[in-house]
Structure 1
Amino acid sequence: MEMKTIRSGKLRAAGYDPRQRLLRVEFEDGSAIEYSGVGADVWARLSSSGAAWSYYRDNIEDEFTGRRGSSPAARSAGKSQALADLFKPPGDDDQA
Protein backbone atom coordinates (compact mmCIF):
# COMPACT_ATOMS: atom_id res chain seq x y z
CA MET A 1 0.00 0.00 0.00
CA GLU A 2 1.41 3.36 -0.98
CA MET A 3 1.38 5.89 1.84
CA LYS A 4 0.72 9.59 1.36
CA THR A 5 2.37 12.07 3.73
CA ILE A 6 -0.20 14.09 5.64
CA ARG A 7 0.76 16.87 8.05
CA SER A 8 -2.48 17.65 9.83
CA GLY A 9 -3.06 17.47 13.56
CA LYS A 10 -1.59 14.18 14.78
CA LEU A 11 -1.75 12.52 11.34
CA ARG A 12 1.53 11.91 9.54
CA ALA A 13 0.60 9.54 6.70
CA ALA A 14 -2.29 7.61 5.23
CA GLY A 15 -2.74 4.96 2.58
CA TYR A 16 -5.59 3.06 0.98
CA ASP A 17 -5.97 -0.35 -0.63
CA PRO A 18 -9.12 -0.23 -2.78
CA ARG A 19 -9.16 -3.98 -3.42
CA GLN A 20 -9.31 -4.75 0.30
CA ARG A 21 -11.12 -1.48 1.20
CA LEU A 22 -8.43 -0.95 3.84
CA LEU A 23 -7.39 2.48 5.12
CA ARG A 24 -4.18 2.85 7.12
CA VAL A 25 -3.43 6.03 9.09
CA GLU A 26 -0.13 6.71 10.85
CA PHE A 27 0.28 9.18 13.69
CA GLU A 28 3.08 11.42 14.94
CA ASP A 29 3.82 9.06 17.87
CA GLY A 30 4.60 6.18 15.48
CA SER A 31 1.34 4.32 16.07
CA ALA A 32 -0.94 3.31 13.23
CA ILE A 33 -4.50 2.12 12.80
CA GLU A 34 -5.92 0.09 9.93
CA TYR A 35 -9.62 0.50 9.21
CA SER A 36 -11.53 -2.13 7.23
CA GLY A 37 -14.58 -1.61 5.05
CA VAL A 38 -13.64 1.93 4.02
CA GLY A 39 -14.99 3.15 0.69
CA ALA A 40 -12.90 4.92 -1.93
CA ASP A 41 -14.95 8.10 -1.42
CA VAL A 42 -13.80 8.34 2.21
CA TRP A 43 -10.17 7.91 1.13
CA ALA A 44 -10.58 10.57 -1.58
CA ARG A 45 -11.98 13.06 0.92
CA LEU A 46 -9.31 12.33 3.55
CA SER A 47 -6.39 12.47 1.13
CA SER A 48 -7.51 15.70 -0.52
CA SER A 49 -8.77 17.51 2.57
CA GLY A 50 -6.93 20.58 3.79
CA ALA A 51 -8.24 19.68 7.24
CA ALA A 52 -7.46 15.95 7.21
CA TRP A 53 -7.27 15.70 11.01
CA SER A 54 -10.78 17.09 11.41
CA TYR A 55 -12.12 14.88 8.62
CA TYR A 56 -10.47 11.84 10.23
CA ARG A 57 -11.91 12.63 13.67
CA ASP A 58 -15.42 13.38 12.34
CA ASN A 59 -15.81 10.70 9.68
CA ILE A 60 -13.41 7.80 10.26
CA GLU A 61 -12.23 7.40 13.86
CA ASP A 62 -15.54 6.27 15.36
CA GLU A 63 -17.30 5.18 12.17
CA PHE A 64 -15.06 2.26 11.16
CA THR A 65 -13.52 -0.70 12.95
CA GLY A 66 -9.82 -0.09 13.54
CA ARG A 67 -6.91 -2.35 14.40
CA ARG A 68 -3.89 -0.77 16.12
CA GLY A 69 -0.32 -1.30 15.03
CA SER A 70 2.82 0.74 14.53
CA SER A 71 4.38 2.44 11.57
CA PRO A 72 7.30 0.76 9.79
CA ALA A 73 9.64 3.50 11.04
CA ALA A 74 8.60 2.91 14.67
CA ARG A 75 9.03 -0.85 14.30
CA SER A 76 12.47 -0.36 12.75
CA ALA A 77 13.54 1.93 15.61
CA GLY A 78 12.38 -0.65 18.14
CA LYS A 79 14.36 -3.40 16.41
CA SER A 80 17.47 -1.22 16.31
CA GLN A 81 17.21 -0.54 20.03
CA ALA A 82 16.72 -4.24 20.76
CA LEU A 83 19.92 -5.05 18.84
CA ALA A 84 21.81 -2.28 20.64
CA ASP A 85 20.63 -3.66 23.98
CA LEU A 86 21.67 -7.17 22.98
CA PHE A 87 25.23 -6.16 22.13
CA LYS A 88 26.00 -3.59 24.82
CA PRO A 89 28.86 -4.40 27.23
CA PRO A 90 28.01 -6.17 30.50
CA GLY A 91 27.18 -3.74 33.28
CA ASP A 92 26.27 -0.94 30.85
CA ASP A 93 22.65 -0.50 31.94
CA ASP A 94 22.33 3.25 31.23
CA GLN A 95 21.06 3.72 34.78
CA ALA A 96 22.57 6.36 37.03
Structure 2
Amino acid sequence: MEMKRINAGKLRAIGYDARERLLRVELDDGTAIDYAGVGQEVWRRLSTASSSTAWSFYRDNIEEEFHGKRGVARSSSTSASRAALEDLFKPVDPPDNA
Protein backbone atom coordinates (compact mmCIF):
# COMPACT_ATOMS: atom_id res chain seq x y z
CA MET A 1 0.00 0.00 0.00
CA GLU A 2 1.41 3.37 -0.95
CA MET A 3 1.38 5.86 1.89
CA LYS A 4 0.85 9.58 1.42
CA ARG A 5 2.72 11.78 3.90
CA ILE A 6 0.49 14.30 5.63
CA ASN A 7 0.84 16.74 8.52
CA ALA A 8 -2.65 17.28 9.89
CA GLY A 9 -3.33 17.12 13.61
CA LYS A 10 -1.88 13.80 14.74
CA LEU A 11 -1.98 12.29 11.22
CA ARG A 12 1.43 11.68 9.63
CA ALA A 13 0.59 9.35 6.73
CA ILE A 14 -2.48 7.85 5.06
CA GLY A 15 -2.90 5.05 2.56
CA TYR A 16 -5.70 3.10 0.90
CA ASP A 17 -6.07 -0.30 -0.75
CA ALA A 18 -9.12 -0.02 -3.01
CA ARG A 19 -9.34 -3.76 -3.72
CA GLU A 20 -9.38 -4.60 0.01
CA ARG A 21 -11.24 -1.40 0.98
CA LEU A 22 -8.61 -0.91 3.68
CA LEU A 23 -7.58 2.49 4.98
CA ARG A 24 -4.37 2.86 7.00
CA VAL A 25 -3.53 5.94 9.03
CA GLU A 26 -0.22 6.53 10.77
CA LEU A 27 -0.17 8.83 13.77
CA ASP A 28 2.54 11.01 15.24
CA ASP A 29 3.08 8.60 18.15
CA GLY A 30 4.21 5.83 15.78
CA THR A 31 0.99 3.83 15.80
CA ALA A 32 -0.81 2.71 12.68
CA ILE A 33 -4.52 1.99 12.52
CA ASP A 34 -6.15 -0.10 9.77
CA TYR A 35 -9.83 0.45 9.02
CA ALA A 36 -11.65 -2.23 7.01
CA GLY A 37 -14.68 -1.60 4.81
CA VAL A 38 -13.84 2.00 3.95
CA GLY A 39 -15.33 3.14 0.65
CA GLN A 40 -13.45 5.01 -2.05
CA GLU A 41 -15.49 8.18 -1.50
CA VAL A 42 -14.34 8.39 2.14
CA TRP A 43 -10.74 7.85 0.98
CA ARG A 44 -11.10 10.49 -1.73
CA ARG A 45 -12.44 13.04 0.73
CA LEU A 46 -9.70 12.31 3.30
CA SER A 47 -6.86 12.27 0.79
CA THR A 48 -7.91 15.54 -0.85
CA ALA A 49 -8.71 17.40 2.38
CA SER A 50 -6.47 20.30 3.27
CA SER A 51 -4.09 19.88 6.19
CA SER A 52 -6.36 22.15 8.23
CA THR A 53 -9.44 19.94 7.70
CA ALA A 54 -8.04 16.39 7.31
CA TRP A 55 -7.73 15.75 11.06
CA SER A 56 -11.32 16.78 11.81
CA PHE A 57 -12.59 14.79 8.80
CA TYR A 58 -10.71 11.74 10.09
CA ARG A 59 -12.07 12.17 13.62
CA ASP A 60 -15.69 12.72 12.51
CA ASN A 61 -16.01 10.35 9.55
CA ILE A 62 -13.51 7.55 10.08
CA GLU A 63 -12.51 7.20 13.73
CA GLU A 64 -16.14 7.38 14.90
CA GLU A 65 -17.65 5.33 12.06
CA PHE A 66 -15.24 2.41 11.58
CA HIS A 67 -13.57 -0.09 13.89
CA GLY A 68 -9.80 0.21 13.67
CA LYS A 69 -7.09 -2.36 14.31
CA ARG A 70 -4.02 -0.79 15.94
CA GLY A 71 -0.47 -1.69 15.14
CA VAL A 72 2.93 -0.08 14.74
CA ALA A 73 3.83 2.04 11.74
CA ARG A 74 6.78 0.49 9.97
CA SER A 75 8.54 2.97 7.78
CA SER A 76 11.86 2.01 6.21
CA SER A 77 12.98 5.63 6.22
CA THR A 78 12.11 5.91 9.92
CA SER A 79 14.08 2.75 10.68
CA ALA A 80 17.05 3.99 8.69
CA SER A 81 16.92 7.36 10.44
CA ARG A 82 16.76 5.73 13.85
CA ALA A 83 19.72 3.46 13.04
CA ALA A 84 21.74 6.46 11.86
CA LEU A 85 20.99 8.32 15.09
CA GLU A 86 21.90 5.31 17.22
CA ASP A 87 25.23 5.00 15.34
CA LEU A 88 25.89 8.68 15.84
CA PHE A 89 25.37 8.57 19.61
CA LYS A 90 26.85 5.19 20.50
CA PRO A 91 29.88 5.27 22.82
CA VAL A 92 33.28 5.31 21.22
CA ASP A 93 35.71 2.59 22.26
CA PRO A 94 38.98 3.95 23.67
CA PRO A 95 42.03 3.37 21.46
CA ASP A 96 44.07 0.25 22.09
CA ASN A 97 47.44 1.04 23.70
CA ALA A 98 49.03 -2.33 23.02
TM over 0.5: yes
**Greater CA radius of gyration, 1 or 2?**
2
Indicate conservation of the 8 Å contact 1:14/1:23, yes or no: yes
Structure 1 residue ranges (4+ consecutive) displaced by more than 4 angstroms after TM superposition: 74-77
Indicate conservation of the 8 Å contact 1:30/1:73, yes or no: no
* Equivalent position of 2:43 in the other structure: 43
* Equivalent position of 1:70 in the other structure: 72
Kindly, what percent of the aligned residue pairs are identical? 63
* 1:3 shift after superposition: 0.3
Q: TM-score, length-normalised on structure 1?
A: 0.76
Structure 1: segments with no counterpart, 5+ residues: 81-96
* 1:73 shift after superposition: 3.2
Q: TM-score, length-normalised on structure 2?
A: 0.74
**What is the root-mean-square deviation of aligned Cα atoms in Å?**
2.2
Q: SS at the partner of 1:60?
A: helix
Structure 2: segments with no counterpart, 5+ residues: 84-98
